[in-house]
Amino acid sequence: MKKINWDEVPTEEVTPSMHRKLIYGDRLMIAKMNFKKGFLVPLHEHHHEQITQVIHGKIRFWLGKNKEDIIDLTDGDVLVIPSNLPHEALMLTDVQEIDTWTPLREDWLDGTDHYLKNSK
């Protein structure tokens, strides 16, 4: 068992427009993130199941290989993204959100999450 306070977790600057804090156990990861308006998470997919919770701000998601479904999230909204579903997200305002994944995002832990680091 671990007790952790978000204020004690170091902040990683992924890009000047994306900052994150990570907490994880053996099979589950949670990230508290801040994005600047206009940041684009490019279309990608992963085998992880993902839950996105918007604390403040507005995000537009495109879901599906051809981005056929569009969903806007705002304060208090939660989106469950199944494994292997392609998705892209644009920050329509400055955003604070929390994402949860299972299993762990190994690419985020080992620094191979280049799809984010090359975003603006």
- Domain harbouring 93, CATH code: 2.60.120.10
Give the mean model confidence (pLDDT) for residues 14-30. Answer: 97
Give the per-residue pLDDT at 119: 78
Residue ranges making up the domain that contains 38: 13-117
Helix, strand, or coil here: 116? helix
Report yes or no on 5 lying in a domain: no
Q: What is the tens place of the pLDDT at every residue in 55-101?
A: 999 999 999 999 999 999 999 999 999 999 999 999 999 999 999 99
CA atoms within 13 A on the CB side of 83: 6
26 vs 77: CA distance, rounded Å: 27
Write the DSSP symbol of residue 59.
Answer: E
Q: Say if pTM beats, i.e. exceeds, 0.85.
A: yes
Q: What percent of the chain has pLDDT over 70?
A: 99
**36 lies in a domain?**
yes
2 found inside a domain? no
* Domain total of the chain: 1
Average pLDDT, the chain: 96
